[in-house]
Amino acid sequence: MGVLGIGIMGSAIAANLVKAGFQVIGYDPLPAARAALESAGGLAVSTPEHAIREARCLILCLPSEAALCEVSRQIAAAGRDGLIVAETSTLPIPAKQQAADLLSARGITLLDTPLSGTGAQAVTRDLVVYASGDAAAVEAMKEVFDGFARVTYNIGAFGNGMRMKLMANLLVAIHNISTAEALLMGQRMGIDMDLAVQVLADGAGGSRMLQVRGPAMAAGTWDEATMKVSIWQKDMKLIAAALADANVPAPLFSACIPVYNAAMGMGHGESDTAAVYDVLEKMSALKR
């Protein structure tokens, strides 16, 4: 199995594939990421072309449209007729479609397969695959997806995976900030923060973001990112564009935007998005 991009998500995917019994070959431009793959039992290579040549299928975990454009050209140049490529990144549908068309001309199938879940969830194999594209290729990749994800849904036509992912991320954007609001409220009222996370997660107001990011907010620790605020800004822009295209009013999502922007302005670009708690805490003008 080839994994191109072994950062926060890709490294966890690769490690779980190794645990599931797959031989994994991976590439990342960062030496530390390649070293981590070797430590997990995979084979790290110094060029993406090496992984593209050797892998029986590829998983892409990329940070940008530019990266997808470059990698898709490299895959096309390899001329691997029959190769299946699963593109897991959160990127614009037109960019993915352009890559799919380029690869299709070389007999290569690109699937749009974004993932629902944080980096922490990826470590514990608690990811959901939103698979879209060629149905036979999705079925052929099912065993691979099972190696790093909890469940796979076939969403249908190419691009529907990203559409579902944007819907999911809209909810994540809101739930993340509502978690911070509730926990800050509890702190100000003298409620034990760890107890609040446990109790709220077990009730009607619970959410996956409360479970995943609540503990970090309670502890005030967001330096170890499972989703960097800077990368999340890309996702926020994609959601906003999709809402505008669909002519959908989204007052709650719109209210979230300045909070994430403030996190960037406060120097939290490399922090986990749990850092929105720090934004609200400082807005309250009170110290812990």
Which residues are marked as active site?
165
User: From the CA atom positions of the chain, what is the Rg in Å?
Assistant: 20
User: What gap in Å lies between CA 74 and CA 47, rounded to an integer?
Assistant: 10
Q: In terms of C-beta distances under 8 Å and separation of at least 24 residues, what long-range contacts does 213-216 make, across chains too?
A: 213/118, 213/176, 213/179, 213/272, 213/273, 213/274, 214/179, 214/183, 216/272, 216/274
Letter for the amino acid at 6? Answer: I
CB 66 within 8 A of CB 49: no
- Give the helix ranges, DSSP H, for 79-141: 93-104, 119-123, 135-140
Chain centroid to Cα 218, Å, comes to 23
Neighbouring CB atoms inside 10 A of 159's CB total 18
User: What gap in Å lies between CA 17 and CA 146, rounded to an integer?
Assistant: 9
Q: Name the token pair of 181.
A: 């609001």
User: What gap in Å lies between CA 88 and CA 130, rounded to an integer?
Assistant: 9
CB 85 within 8 A of CB 133: no
